[in-house]
Copies of this chain bind each other. A is one copy, B any other.
Amino acid sequence: MYEMVKTPNPPRSRCPINFGLEIFGDKWTLLILRDMLMVGKKTFKEFQASDERIASNILSERLARLEQSGLIQQQAVKADARQIHYAPTDACRALLPVLVEMAYWGTTHDPKTGAPKSFVRSYERDRDRLLLALAQGTDPAKS
Residue interface bits A46-73, CB-to-B below 8 A is 1, else 0: 0000111100000000000000000000
Question: Separation in Å of the A4 CB from the closest CB of chain B?
Answer: 21
Residue interface bits A1-36, CB-to-B below 8 A is 1, else 0: 000000000001111111111100111001100100
Give the oligomeric copy count.
2
Counting chain A residues whose Cβ lies within 8 A of the other chain, the interface size class is 35 or more
Asked if residues A22 and B27 are in contact (CB atoms below 8 Å), the reply is: yes
Considering the chains assembled together, what is the distance between the CA atoms of A114 and B16 in angstroms?
7
Q: Known: A15-B106, A16-B110, A109-B91. Contact between A31 and B27, CB under 8 A?
A: no
Asked if residues B102 and A16 are in contact (CB atoms below 8 Å), the reply is: yes
A143 interface residue (CB < 8 Å to B): yes
